[in-house]
Amino acid sequence: MLNYFLPPHIEFGDGAIQNLGEHVKAFDGKKPFLVSDAGVINAGILAKATDALEASGLSYATYSEIEPNPTDISVTQGVDVYKAETCDVVIAVGGGSVMDAAKAIRLLTTHTPPLEPYYADVGGIEQIRGDMPPLICVPTTAGTGSEVSQGSIITDTSLQTTDRWRKRAIVTPFNMSNIALLDPGITLGMPPALTAATGMDAITHGIEAYVATKYHPIAEGVALQALRMLSANIQQVYHKGEDVTARGEMLLGSCMAAFSFQKGLGAVHSLAHQLSTDAPIPHGVANAILLPPVMEFNFSHASEKYAEIARALGIDTSNMDIDEAGHAAIDKIRAYNTVLNMPTGLGEAGLDRGKIPKLGADAMLDHCHKFNPRVCREEDMVDLFEAAF
Ligand SMILES: [Fe+2]
Distance from residue 200's CA to the centre of ligand 1 (Å)? 9
What is the model's pLDDT at position 1?
Answer: 83
Span 10-187: which CATH code? Answer: 3.40.50.1970
Please say if the pLDDT value at position 340 is more than 90. Answer: yes
The beta strands (E) that lie in 172-240 are given as 179-182
Distance from residue 260's CA to the centre of ligand 1 (Å)? 12
Give 163's pLDDT tier (boundaries 50, 70, 90): low
Rounded Cα distance, 226 and 98, in Å: 23
What is the model's pLDDT at position 8?
Answer: 83
Please say if the pLDDT value at position 325 is more than 70. Answer: yes
Q: How many helices (DSSP H) and strands (DSSP E) are in the chain?
A: 14, 8
Give 3's pLDDT tier (boundaries 50, 70, 90): confident
Distance from residue 198's CA to the centre of ligand 1 (Å)? 8
Distance from residue 265's CA to the centre of ligand 1 (Å)? 9
Protein residues with C-beta less than 5 angstroms from the ion ligand 1: 201
What is the model's pLDDT at position 265?
Answer: 96
Rounded Cα distance, 233 and 229, in Å: 6
Nearest to 384 by CA among 265, 274, 223, 257: 274
Mean pLDDT in residue range 124-140: 97
Nearest to 385 by CA among 258, 281, 263: 281
Rounded Cα distance, 271 and 277, in Å: 12
Distance from residue 301's CA to the centre of ligand 1 (Å)? 22
Distance from residue 201's CA to the centre of ligand 1 (Å)? 5
Distance from residue 16's CA to the centre of ligand 1 (Å)? 25
Mean pLDDT for the chain overall: 95
Instruction: Give the model confidence (pLDDT) of 56-70 as tens digits.
Output: 999 999 999 999 889
| Domains of the chain by residue range | 10-187, 192-388
Distance from residue 369's CA to the centre of ligand 1 (Å)? 13
Distance from residue 204's CA to the centre of ligand 1 (Å)? 7
Bridge partners (DSSP) of residue 90 are 33, 135
* Torsion sign over Cα 145, 151, 157, 159: negative
Span 192-388: which CATH code? Answer: 1.20.1090.10
Instruction: Give the model confidence (pLDDT) of 70-104 as tens digits.
Output: 999 999 999 999 999 999 999 999 999 999 999 99
CA dist list (Å): 56 to 207, 306, 314 = 41, 48, 44
